Amino acid sequence: MINVCRKCKREFNIRRAAIGYTICMDKACEDAPPIRTVVPMHKSNYILSTNREDLKGINNKGGFYR
């Protein structure tokens, strides 16, 4: 499995990916703040999301997405 940094698109260590990191240890990537957005849920509260895939269909009355 190839682990690619989501910021600089270079490959990084598999052990780093196993503990949940999605960026490499390059100084430029580490210092960049994570991308976050606040999303209103349907008939509910707001959530903080950092994953773009979670946003697809999230406000579609229950989050159903095809």
17-40 residue pLDDT tens: 888 888 887 776 766 666 778 887
pLDDT at 16: 84
pTM exceeding 0.75 = no
63 pLDDT more than 60: no
pLDDT, position 50: 76
Q: Where are the alpha helices (DSSP H) in 1-66?
A: 14-18, 27-31, 52-55
Amino acid identity, residue 34? P
Task: Please give the pLDDT value at position 60.
Answer: 64
